[in-house]
Amino acid sequence: MLGPPPPPSYPPVVSDDSVSVDPLRPEINIDVARLEGIFSYNALNPLPIGPFHSRIRRPLETPTDLSAAVYALTSMFNHACLANAGWQSLGDVIIIRARRPIAAGEEITIPYTTGYYEDCCRFLPSMIGRPCDCQLCEDERKDTDEDRRTRIKYLAKLMSEGLSILKPVIEIQQWAQEFQGTYSPSRSTMIKLEMASFNRTLGDKVRNLMNEAARKEAVEYDMRVLENQGFIIERNYSAQKVQPGFALPVDLRALPTTTTMRAPVAGMILIARSYQILGDNENAEAWLKSAHAYVATVIGSGKYLLINMFGPVLDECGALPVDLYAIPTTTIRPPVVDMTIIAKTYHLVDNQESAEA
- What ranges do the domains of the chain cover? 32-143+183-191+230-344
- What distance in Å separates the CA atoms of residue 120 and residue 296, rounded to the nearest whole number? 28
What does the pLDDT read at residue 57?
Answer: 43
* 147 pLDDT more than 80: yes
Angle at 332 between CA 267 and CA 252, to 5 degrees: 60
* 212 pLDDT more than 50: yes
- What distance in Å separates the CA atoms of residue 3 and residue 222, rounded to the nearest whole number? 35
Q: Which of the four pLDDT bands, split at 50, 70 and 90, describes residue 240?
A: low
Q: Do residues 273 and 215 lie in contact, with contact meaning Cβ atoms separated by under 8 Å?
A: no
How confident is the model over 255-280, as a mean pLDDT? 90
- What distance in Å separates the CA atoms of residue 100 and residue 53, rounded to the nearest whole number? 28
What does the pLDDT read at residue 338?
Answer: 31
Poorest-pLDDT segment among 213-222, 281-290, 312-321: 312-321
What does the pLDDT read at residue 216?
Answer: 94
Decide which of 301 and 27 is more confident: 27
What does the pLDDT read at residue 328?
Answer: 54
Q: Which of the four pLDDT bands, split at 50, 70 and 90, describes residue 350?
A: very low
What does the pLDDT read at residue 327?
Answer: 59
Q: Which of the four pLDDT bands, split at 50, 70 and 90, describes residue 172?
A: very high
What tens digit of pLDDT does each residue of 83-106 get? 999 988 877 778 899 999 999 889
Q: Do residues 82 and 256 lie in contact, with contact meaning Cβ atoms separated by under 8 Å?
A: yes
- What distance in Å separates the CA atoms of residue 247 and residue 293, rounded to the nearest whole number? 11
